[in-house]
């Protein structure tokens, strides 16, 4: 996360909820995603290695793709090779004394148009941010997007700040992949909800 002092106005709960619906829409999911936040200036200065150092492998139920026997292993191998090369770059930069910012898993609410994430400080409205978001899809994908702060509010726990940002226009391919992830994640939530739902039983009285 960027090093900075607290700033920016905090909205009330109702006003923040209304703004969130305006930015995110109704088609959203909650998840825990690895996230890096930095300024566009930091991005241009190359202060961050924009890749995770560990290749995530996700359950097949999280994808709507092929079965295990049909998985394109070449794609997986290339993805692993890319991550290993990036890991070597990270280690080289660390050994030379450079600062490298790596993703931190946080609970978010995300849609195809924006995201809400927790922070230890607030941001001024309309401030530009550079976000790196790892999506649990196959093959693993990292979103590299620019966004602008729409609103901030105190978290329900009262200890942190919820930050709402709107994505800059996404390339159609990236937006389609994000939408596919949201659809699959919503299916998972529905299935999990059905499993957790108590089974109705009849009881004879008397």
* pLDDT for res 165: 97
- State whether residue 57 is helix, strand or coil: coil
How many distinct structural domains can be found in the chain?
A: 1
Mean pLDDT of 99-123: 88
- For residue 82, what are the domain limits? 13-64+73-196
- This prediction has a pTM of 0.70
- For position 156, which CATH number holds? 2.40.10.220
**Do the domain assignments include residue 154?**
yes
* pLDDT for res 81: 67
Q: Sort residue 195 into left (φ over 0), alpha (ψ -120 to 50) or beta.
A: alpha
Query: At residue 205, does pLDDT exceed 80?
Result: no
**Which parts of the chain are beta strand (E)?**
29-38, 104-110, 114-119, 128-135, 141-154, 161-167
pLDDT tens digits, residue range 148-191? 999 999 988 878 999 999 999 999 888 988 998 999 888 888 88
Rounded Cα distance, 40 and 146, in Å: 8
Please name which of 179, 137, 173, 155 lies closest in space to residue 33, comparing C-alpha atoms: 137
pLDDT tens digits, residue range 77-92? 666 666 676 667 767 7
- State whether residue 164 is helix, strand or coil: strand
């Amino acid at each position: 996360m960027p090093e900075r002092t607290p700033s920016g106005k905090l909205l009330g709960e109702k006003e923040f909820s209304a703004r969130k619906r305006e930015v995110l829409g109704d088609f959203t999911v909650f998840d825990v995603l690895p996230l890096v936040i930095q300024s566009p200036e930091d991005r241009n200065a190359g202060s961050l290695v924009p890749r995770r150092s560990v290749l995530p492998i996700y359950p097949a139920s999280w994808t709507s793709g092929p079965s295990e026997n049909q998985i394109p292993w070449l794609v997986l191998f290339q993805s692993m090779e890319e991550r290993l090369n990036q890991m070597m770059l990270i280690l080289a930069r660390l050994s030379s004394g450079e600062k490298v910012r790596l993703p931190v898993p946080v609970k978010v609410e995300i849609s195809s148009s924006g995201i809400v994430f927790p922070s230890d400080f607030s941001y001024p409205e309309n401030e530009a941010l550079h976000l790196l978001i790892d999506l649990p899809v196959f093959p693993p994908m990292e979103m590299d997007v620019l966004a602008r702060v729409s609103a901030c509010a105190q978290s329900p726990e009262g200890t942190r700040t919820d930050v709402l940002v709107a994505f800059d226009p996404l390339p159609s391919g990236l937006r389609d992949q994000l939408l596919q992830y949201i659809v699959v994640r919503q299916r998972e939530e529905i299935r999990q909800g059905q499993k957790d739902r108590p089974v109705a039983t009849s009881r004879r009285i008397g």
